[in-house]
Structure 1
Amino acid sequence: MAERERRADAVANRDRIVAAARAELSESNGDADDLKLHRVAKAAGVGQGTLYRHFPTREHLLAEVYRAELTQLVDTVAPLLAEHSPLEALTRWLHRLIEYARVKRGVMAAIEVPAWRDLYDGQHHRLDEALETLLDRGKAVGEVRDGVDAADVILLLGALSRIPGAEWNARAPRIVAVIVDGLRRPA
C-alpha cells in the first residue's frame, strides 16, 4: 500500500511540475529561454531534486510539456463536437491550437533539432487525426468546404510560426479567423 501511495504521489508531483512549466511558458509568451527550473519547482510545490528526478534536463521537461499540451489539444475534439456544431467546434479547437502553437514554438526554440524531430515525428499524426475528424464532421453537415484536408489547414497554420512574439496575441486569433472563413462551405 505504501508503494502505491508513493507512486501516486510521484505521478502527482510529475503532473504539477509539467503544469507549472506550462504556466511559466505561457507567462513568458512561449519563450523557453525564460523558463527557470527553480521557479517551476517552487510553483509545483516540489524541491529541485524532485524536479530533476523526473526531468534530468530542461529538454526532458520541455518535451513532456509539449506532449501534455498536444494530448490536451487532441482530447478536446470529442467534447467540442458533443457541445457545438462542427464548424463551431473546429473554430474553438483552432483557437485552442493557438496556445498549443505558442508552447510548441518555445519548445522548438529550446530543444536541439534532432531531439525535436524525434519528438514531433512520434506525435504529429495525433494532431492530423484530430483535425481530420473535425473537418470530416464539418463536411458531413455541409459547414466545411469539400476538398480540404488536414494537411491543407496545417500548411495554413504555418503562418503562426512567422508571427513576431510581441504581435502574437493580436495576430494569431486573426489568422485563425481568416482560416475558418476560408474553410466555410461557399453559399
Structure 2
Amino acid sequence: MGSYRIGWTGGCRVGSDAAARRPLTRLATAGLAAHIFFELGAGVGMPAASVLGPVPAAGLWALGSGTLWRAAGTRPASSDGVFAVCNGVGLAAVIAHLRGWPRRRTRLGLPWLRECEGLGPELMRFYNPILYVSGAAALGALLRENRSAPRYLPLLALGLVPLFIVTQHAEHWRLREIARQRPGWWNRRL
C-alpha cells in the first residue's frame, strides 16, 4: 500500500502508481505549453497576449499548464471527465492549426504547416513536430487514459475546431496591430 496525502490531491494514493498516472495527458499538456511558449519565444505572441499583455498571458498559461500537468499525475479516476475535456480541447487546437493555416501534404499525406500565426517557413520544422506530439498525445490519452469519462465530452470539444480557427486568426490580427503600434521582443516577427 502507499501513503495517502490529504489536501490538494483529494486523498488519492501517492506512490509509484501515481507517478505513472496519465502520462499521455501529461505529455499533451507539456506539448501544449511548448507550442504556446514556442510562439512567444519566436516573437509572435501567444493566446490572450493581445488582451492581457505578454507577461500576464504567459503567467496564466504557465500556471494552467503546471496545474493540469500536476493534477494529471495525482487525481483519481473520478477526474477523468476534466482530463477528457482538456485533451479534447488540446486536440481541437492542434486540428484548428492544421486546418486553418497554409499547409502542404507530407509524403505520408499528413498536413504540414508552411506558415502559422506569423511563424515563417524557417520555424515550421520545429513547430509542426510540437503540434503533432501534442495532438497525438491528446488523442492517445482520450483513447487510453480517460476511460471513466463520458465519450461525448471530447467529441463536444472537437466541435470547437471552427471556433478555434476563427479565434486564432482574430488573435493574430490583434497581435499584428499591437506589434505595429507598440513593437516589442514578444511580437518582433509580426
Specify if TM > 0.5: no
More helix by share: 1
More relative contact order in 1 or in 2 (CA 8 Å, sep 6+)? 2
More strand by share: 2
Into which bin does the TM-score normalised by the smaller protein fall?
0.3 to 0.5
